[in-house]
Amino acid sequence: MQDEKGAAATAAARVVSASSSAAAVAAAALSSSSPVTMTSDLYSQLEQKDHDLVLAAELGKALLDKNEELSRQNEKIAEDFSVKLEVGPVQFGTYSTSRQCVHVCT
């Protein structure tokens, strides 16, 4: 889980920096001597950005699914605890003697 968060953070940082690095790429491309090299470099950088974006989306989805699962577990635990609180005092505070039931107040 920690690796997913680290990878998601790295991918998200790459995606966020895409807009600022796009300007740098364009500037570098304009100063490049070979148009073929420039085009190839731009395509490889765009592919990397696309890959990072897909990775960030997949990791975000995985984290969202895990969060929903943990929320359901938390609700179940809270529900079970609530039921135990309701039943608890009756079980421990009521004693039966022959035909009558006596409730002990503390």
Burial class for 42, CB neighbours closer than 10 Å (0-12, 13-18, 19+)? middle
Q: What is the pLDDT of residue 35?
A: 72
Q: Residues for the chain: how many in total?
A: 106
- Kindly report, residue by residue over 39-92, the tens digit of the pLDDT: 889 999 999 999 999 999 999 999 999 999 999 999 999 999 999 888 865 444
Q: Where are the domains of the chain?
A: 2-103
Indicate yes or no: pTM above 0.75: no
**DSSP 3-state assignment of 33?**
coil
